Structure 1
Amino acid sequence: MASKHEDDPNEPVNEQAVANKYAAMRSELNQIYSKITELEMEASEHSLVINAIEPLDPSRRCYRMIGGVLVERTIKEVLPAVHRNKEGLEEVIARLNEALEKKKKDIAELETKYKIRMRKNDGEMKDDGIEKGGSSQGVLVGPASGSE
């Protein structure tokens, strides 16, 4: 007896597998959101440091934490490193935003393909998929980590 999912071994085989895959994808999406938020906060802190030390005398002494060790440097030495770190953070944030958009697209495709609808807490249904008729069935999934 041949399986109807022979062409794609990663294809879920039943409603529970679809629900698990959907929940995992939603969890990954939430992780990306939280990482972006964390890095944006760090970039903001770098901006505050840059704005605070830029107008000061470049030969003035300042301290920088490197690998858990506080080292004494001058502003002239520290300012370029803080700028580089901020630029690196911004690049990572941009890549994470691209990954976020791709993950959103993948989730939307999964919702459409399996007619996934989210269950609201009060028992009402929010339809995210396209219903084609009364006889079509979809997968019902509860909210992922209460963020909906």
Structure 2
Amino acid sequence: MMTSKGEGDVKEPVNEQAVANLYGTMRSEISQLHTKITELEMEVSEHSLVVGAIQPLDPSRRCYRMIGGVLVERTIKEVLPAVQHNKAGLEEVISRLNEALERKKKEMVDFEAKYKIRIRKPENNVKDDSSKKEGSAQGVLVGPAGADE
């Protein structure tokens, strides 16, 4: 009887390098989620600006909307509900992405605890570099003209 590898196959890292790679992947996924959430929040903000700008206007007034790279003439009465619907959809996606982000963060915290991962702070080489350069970065003091004579 053959069993497939997909059944109950938990990816357990076999060595420190595998743990580090998996941890790096998790951090990358969290970073990507943050980026996507920020991008979508900017789109929601743009939708809000559009709604705020066209809502007080006459519903029969014509306006233009970009659909798939094509500028289409419509009326505010047609465009406003579509923009509001798109905004609501974006907010729903952001909500789901935030939930996924929280799950990933919890998963990463559990992973850190399981493998006793600690993040090292980068060494502060800036202080060392500035003290080394301090002597050479000083200006030249010049006395009043004719003081050498």
Q: TM-score range by the shorter chain?
A: 0.7 to 0.9
> Which has more strand, going by share of residues?
1
Q: How much does 1:23 deviate?
A: 0.2
What is the percentage of aligned positions where both structures have the same residue?
74
Deviations 1:47-84, CA, capped at 9 Å, x for gaps: 00000000000000100000000000000000000000
Letter in 1 for 2:62: R
Structure 1: 4+ residue segments shifted above 4 A: none
SS at match of 2:65: strand
Cα distance between partner residues in 2 of 1:100 and 1:43: 19
Q: How much does 1:26 deviate?
A: 0.1
Closer/same/farther in 2, CA of residues 47 and 9 from structure 1, 3 Å limit:
closer
> Which has more helix, going by share of residues?
2
Query: What is the TM-score of this pair, normalised by structure 2?
Result: 0.76
Letter in 1 for 2:67: I
Equivalent in the alignment of 2:18: 17
Letter in 1 for 2:61: R
Cα distance between partner residues in 2 of 1:119 and 1:60: 60
Cα distance between partner residues in 1 of 2:67 and 2:9: 48
Equivalent in the alignment of 1:33: 34
Letter in 2 for 1:27: S
Equivalent in the alignment of 2:115: 114
How many residues are aligned here?
Answer: 117
What's the RMSD between the two structures over aligned residues? 1.2
Unaligned runs of 5+ in 2: 1-7, 125-149
Equivalent in the alignment of 2:139: none
Equivalent in the alignment of 2:131: none
Matched, 1:55 2:56: yes
Q: How much does 1:120 deviate?
A: 1.1
Structure having the higher Rg:
2
